[in-house]
Homo-oligomer: A and B are copies of this chain.
Amino acid sequence: MLPGASSEKSELYRIMTGMCSTSFDVGSSFLPSDSFDQAFCDSSSESAQRALAALRNHKEAEKRRRERINSHLDKLRSILPCSSKTDKASLLAKVVERVRELKQEAAMMEQTSRKTESYCLIPSESDEVTVYSSSDDGGRLIFKASLCCEDRSDLMPELIGILKSLRLKTLRAEMCTVGGRIRNVLVVAADSEHSIESIHFLQSALKGLVQKSSDTSADRSKRRRMAASAARQLRS
């Protein structure tokens, strides 16, 4: 039996029949509305019959409405990473988080708009590290970090390591490498442990990364200069 099915004793029914509700029980089967109407309502006024029909319509409409809502909730359950038995409230909490992420992300992409950057992220000659943070309006904290430096093979692994150690989840990453230099634009989400202060950790970690790159390239230039000078000396 469906829950709530036995509570089908509307005030209207009781008023119409003048029955004491304690002695009236429709039983556990589905209410046989038509025969009920015949049995009890033939002698009642037509307006009461119409009211009864309206009540039945209302009941069914409400059922349809519930089904509409629940079908959407089921769709969400099937889409999101959650079981089919997560309750409505926590399901909706997950959904809120997801959608917020999307919105924050979009806002961030808009805020630090492409219009102010070269469209295809072409790296500049000078090293750079910039970190923006989204306005934290109750949602998840989102950072957008941009760095530009000499490219080297272990840059990406180290960058990934930094993000992992700071427990930052990468939402988007774009990069462009030209002539040995690389520009990297990251949109990352902080977890709930982070505050807006985390921006400093991220910034200094990225600065360290870029610094190491420039050291390496300085070494390389130094070596190159030494090699050139050695060659000159050998030639002379």
Binding site for B on A (CB under 8 A): 7, 11, 14-15, 18, 20-22, 65, 68-69, 72-73, 75-76, 79-80, 88-89, 92-93, 95-96, 98-103, 119-122, 156, 172, 174-179, 182
The residues of B that contact A156 with a CB separation of less than 8 Å are 119-120
Asked if A96 contacts B120 (CB within 8 A), the reply is no
Give chain B nearest CB distance to A18 CB in angstroms. Answer: 7
Across the interface, do A14 and B18 meet the contact criterion of CB distance under 8 Å? no
**In the complex, what residues of B have CB within 8 A of residue A119's CB?**
156
Known contacts A20-B20, A22-B15, A182-B120: does B102 contact A75 (CB below 8 Å)? no
Selected from B80, B89, B177, B182, the residue in CB contact (under 8 A) with A99 is B80
Find out whether the CB atom of B96 lies under 8 angstroms from the CB atom of A76: yes
5 closest cross-chain pairs (CB), A and B: A72-B92, A20-B20, A21-B21, A68-B89, A75-B96
Residues of B within 8 A of A18 (CB): 22
Sample of 28 A–B contacts (CB below 8 Å): A7-B11, A11-B21, A14-B21, A14-B22, A20-B20, A65-B89, A69-B88, A69-B92, A72-B92, A72-B93, A79-B96, A79-B100, A80-B99, A80-B103, A95-B95, A95-B99, A98-B99, A120-B156, A120-B177, A122-B177, A172-B172, A174-B174, A175-B176, A176-B176, A176-B177, A177-B178, A178-B178, A179-B179
